[in-house]
Amino acid sequence: MTETQPRFAFSITARDGKARLGELAMKRGAIRTPAFMPVGTAATVKGMKPAEVRELGADIILGNTYHLMLRPGAERVARLGGLHKFMDWPRPILTDSGGYQVMSLSALTKVTEEGVAFRSHLDGSKHMLSPERSMEIQRLLGSDIVMAFDELVPATATRDVQAAAMERSMRWARRSREGFDSGGDHAERAALFGIQQGSLDEQLRQQSADALRDIGFDGYAIGGLAVGEGQEAMFGVLDYAPGQLPEDRPRYLMGVGKPDDLVGAVERGVDMFDCVLPTRSGRNGQAFTWDGPINIRNARHAEDQGPLDEACGCTACTRFSRAYLHHLVKSGEMLGAMLMTEHNLRFYQDLMAAMRAAIGEGRMTRFGEDFRARYYAKGG
């Protein structure tokens, strides 16, 4: 950690339409934006060594409050020196608040004004996660970017249910702010992001944005998307939601997404992303390329001696054939998942770097058009 670096400073160096090129400076290093954050759910980006994740171009990774509080436990991580030391990642880490996983993974979830009571999906043990406890866990982990605790309800819920959840999330956002600010030294070196909710409703999202502005946060996330509503509906929200948030703060679209989602969201003014897709898909045999996704399990690749992606410089593409990758994945070999994961993370970082260059050179519109024309043309 560098004491001469600011706690948190976001600068926008170029704009092209709604797209923004910038940098987020923090004590553990700078984050180039637009940025994609690989997901290190349980203190590991699955199948990758931390140094390799950095070499592929990642400036920041994500850790998961819910999973780490259950195993190995936030207090244990703190005793062992914090998450950065524990997993040997010296650069910034963003931790989510645990709210999404509580709602999606836990059994017998009960939501009250206090927080969420739930049973662990691991052993059935009882827990309570509140705004205050979420802030405490993220502080024990040593997070650099802390996320406010919020309530997520399905996009299919009624407007009344969506409105009630959004309003509760805003009350929890204020409690998160107070809990974070009481964190002593940690609050002096970390940042707190609020989360806009409101599903697909522009009025609810405006009310949420107004409440978050009133509280005041270092950055602002757009939550409640990528939960089954489809790309068209998501882009419909992104046509207005980023503009409801402060212009001078980073905007983070949580849980997104596919490569074409990222391009469309950057075009609409989003600065930060995270998603399990490149790692999870890699483990399942799907590779993302400039020419669209490839399912390496397909029989057509069984004797293909060409590279996975001629445009990629990762180990999987420069040293091994599609035929070998097909064999590894079909055989369930660990190396197959590792190589496919490495490729996908490299592709995602290359995509972000290409978008940063396009914004800086004033050609983001053309980049998006060319990307979609090629990405949708083929694959396999």
- Select from 354, 291, 355 the least CA-distant residue to 317: 291
Q: Which of 16, 59, 96, 144 is catalytic?
A: 96
**In the annotation, is 274 catalytic?**
yes
CB contact at 8 A, 32 and 59: yes
Q: How far from the centroid of its chain's Cα atoms is residue 316's Cα?
A: 24
SS3 51: helix
The gap from C-alpha 338 to its chain's centroid, in whole angstroms, comes to 20
Binding-site members are: 96-100, 150, 197, 224, 312, 314, 317, 343
Residue of 16, 144, 218, 274 with catalytic role: 274
Residues in contact with 167: Cβ distance below 8 Å, sequence separation at least 6, in sequence order: none
Local structure of 161: helix, strand or coil: helix
Torsions phi, psi for 109 (to 5 deg)? -75, 135
Catalytic annotation on 88?
A: no
Burial 72-104 (b: 16+ CB within 10 A, else e): eebeebbeeebbbebbebebbbbbbbbbbbbbe
Task: For residue 52, give every residue at least 6 positions away whose Cβ sits within 8 Å of its Cβ, in sequence order, or none.
Answer: 342
C-alpha–C-alpha distance, residues 165 and 150, integer Å: 8
Enumerate the known binding-site residues for substrate.
96-100, 150, 197, 224
Measured CA to CA, the distance from residue 219 to residue 91 in angstroms comes to 18
DSSP 98: S
Q: Which residues are catalytic?
A: 96, 274
